[in-house]
Chains A and B, each alone.
Chain A
Amino acid sequence: MKRGMHLCGVQLKQLLLTPTTYVFLGLLFVYFYKLNEAARLLHVVTGLRLNAIGYTVGAFSSNGAALVFGLGAVAVFSGLPLVRENAVFEAVRCGRGTWVSGRILFVVFVSFAYTLIMALLCVLTSGGEVSFAPGWGKLINTLVNGYVFEGIQIDAEFRLSYTTMYTPSAALAITLAMCWGAATLIGLTILWLSLLASRIPALLAGTVIALFDFIISEKLPYWAYHYSPVSFTRMSIVSNPDMPHYPTLEYAVPVLLAAVAVSAALCYAVTLRSKAFSGILLKEQY
């Protein structure tokens, strides 16, 4: 584990030294700034401030944010399996198990950081009040009931179901936990597929997972949400008893955990049992 942490730490450092990381963060900032334009306008029109924590839950519950979140995760993990120029020197010093543990830890840590940064950007650009009070606030409670302030359309999905069941902080914690799980699942899927086959099918699979929520909303029946991990990040889906075809949180949590565990096991299995490791390592080296 210690060696795995060491490998993971260096990969994280590499990620921080890559200029593309900062370009990507800039793009996310622009996305949330534009997304939250209506929320800031609402403050100007009504003179009331949104609960930024609660608003973030609603924003993450929207179809568009889920799509950006999923595709963003694919972009973040597009470099996997992170075979760099020094891979051979790395490989003679550690076994396959350690090597893949380092990559899995990298996926878990980066997913966590990615989720937190997304939430932070949403909170900061919402123009709302950061409050950990149990109430959702006057504005959100009005929006839940479908009221539209002077034609301002907010790109967030608020539902009476979750606003009555959870406090904003609890709802955000659930959202972030599910986002962390979904991003980890996307990363691990890309990892084991890139080791088994190559990066192209791996990224395609990651993209399919990311797009599935959007495809369901456009073309497929609602029960398909049961098979879409990115949809589990939306409180409007997993906490919506009015829609019996939607998955519940009690279903989504164990399914997501099981999917992450299976993906991690596949990463180990592919690395330990096939010739993929040597093949990838030497192919990328020369």
Chain B
Amino acid sequence: MNAIEIHNISKCFGEKTVLKDISATLESGKIHGLVGDNGSGKSVLLKCICGLMPVDEGSITMLGTKVLPGRGNMPNIGLIIEHPGFLGELSGYSNLKYLAGIRGKIRHEDILRAIDTVGLTDAKKRRVGKYSLGMRQRLAIAQAIMEDPDILIMDEPFNGLDKTATRLMRTLFLQFREAGKTLIIASHNPADIDMLCDVVFEIENGELSLKA
């Protein structure tokens, strides 16, 4: 089954058309890259795919289910946005516990495992307000993977990460692919895209094309 099917979607903000009649099929078990200049519409496309933003025309199907922005339970996706936000007064663990409680499908041990995977075990009880940018990014990755999602949607997932953490995350994403998960990565860094992605899409002037 295809993980995501995008059918002729368009999105405008006032007079400006950000996405123009975009169609694409994203196969399961692959890492898909999304590249493009700043303001080209990468983030908007990802928000439309995960149902945070409604499209003006067209439709998106995820794992066979039509995405209706926010209408019901989202399919099992993990999301990392460009500037991840957490409740600064709560600890990293408490933030994840709260988010995990919404779906209510994982246990305490699963949260701890996700924290351990991203290397935040020592800082799990520290207030997120005291986290560095890189630690916040790791926490964002932990929240995305903790519920064992079928699809991981990531906007600039390597933002603020040092070399060691970047290596760790690359390995983690490759492991996810091995496990049959589908990943979409939007990144400015060609090295990340080249190293990880099986298929690369380029977005330019609102149009999506398969990159050679």
**How many angstroms from the CA of A285 to the CA of B53 in the assembled complex?**
13
Sample (9) of A-B pairs whose CB atoms are under 8 Å apart: A3-B103, A6-B101, A85-B85, A86-B95, A89-B86, A92-B51, A278-B54, A282-B47, A282-B53
Instruction: Specify which of A7, A87, A94, A97 is in contact with B85 (CB 8 Å cutoff).
Output: A87
Are A90 and B99 interface neighbours, CB within 8 A?
yes
- Given the known inter-chain contacts A6-B101, A7-B102, A85-B86, please indicate yes or no for A92 contacting B77, CB distance below 8 A: yes
Residue of A nearest to B51 (CB): A92
Task: Check: B71 CB closer than 8 A to any chain A CB.
Answer: yes
Are B52 and A2 within 8 A (Cβ)? Answer: no
Specify the main secondary structure of chain B where it touches its partner.
Answer: loop
Q: Which of B61-103 contact A (CB under 8 A)?
A: 69-74, 77, 79, 81, 83-89, 95, 98-99, 101-103
List 14 additional A-B contacts (Cβ < 8 Å) besides A96-B70, A99-B70: A3-B102, A3-B104, A7-B102, A84-B87, A89-B86, A91-B52, A92-B50, A93-B99, A93-B103, A95-B71, A97-B71, A97-B72, A278-B53, A286-B83
Write out the residue numbers on chain B whose beta carbons fall within 8 Å of the beta carbon of A33: none
CA distance A6 to B102 in the complex (A): 7
Which B residues lie within 8 Å of A45 (CB)?
none
- A272 contacts which of B54, B71, B103 (Cβ < 8 Å)? B71
Q: CA of A2 to CA of B98 in the docked complex: distance in angstroms?
A: 13
Q: How far is the CA of A166 from the CA of B102 in the complex (A)?
A: 45
Which of these, A6, A7, A14, A277, contacts B87 with CB under 8 Å? A14
Q: Does B143 lie at the interface of the complex (its beta carbon under 8 Å from any beta carbon of A)?
A: yes
A277 touching B99, Cβ below 8 Å: no
Q: Contact partner of B52 among A17, A97, A282, CB < 8 A?
A: A282
Q: Are A92 and B71 neighbours in the complex by a CB distance under 8 Å?
A: no
**Contact string against B for A residues 64-93, beta-carbon threshold 8 Å, 1 for contact and 0 otherwise:** 000000000000000000001111111111
**Which A residues touch B83, using CB under 8 A?**
285-286
Contacts of A272 in B (CB 8 A): 71
Indicate if the CB atoms of A88 and B86 lie closer than 8 Å: no
Interface of A is mostly: helix
Name A5's closest neighbour in chain B (CB-CB). Answer: B101
> B79: which A residues are within 8 A, CB to CB?
88-89, 92
Contact yes or no, A275 B54, CB < 8 A:
yes
Contact yes or no, A6 B51, CB < 8 A: no
Judge whether A89 and B70 touch: CB under 8 Å: no
Cα distance A272–B79 when bound, in Å? 22
For A277, the chain B residues whose CB sits under 8 A away are 69-70
Q: Are B98's CB and A281's CB within 8 A?
A: no
3 A-B pairs closest in CB distance = A85-B85, A93-B102, A96-B70
Within 8 A of A (CB), among B102-119: 102-104
Closest to A3 in B: B102
A10 at the interface (CB under 8 A from B): yes
A151 to chain B, nearest CB (A): 51
Please tell me if the beta carbons of A86 and B86 are within 8 angstroms of each other in the complex.
yes
Q: Report whether A94 and B102 are in contact in the complex, using a CB–CB cutoff of 8 Å.
A: yes
Residues of B within 8 Å of A2, CB to CB, are 104
For B103, the closest partner residue in chain A by CB is A93
**Which residues of chain B come closer than 8 Å to A14, judged between CB atoms?**
87, 89
CB contacts (< 8 Å) of B71 on chain A: these are 95-97, 272
A86 touches B70 (CB 8 A): no
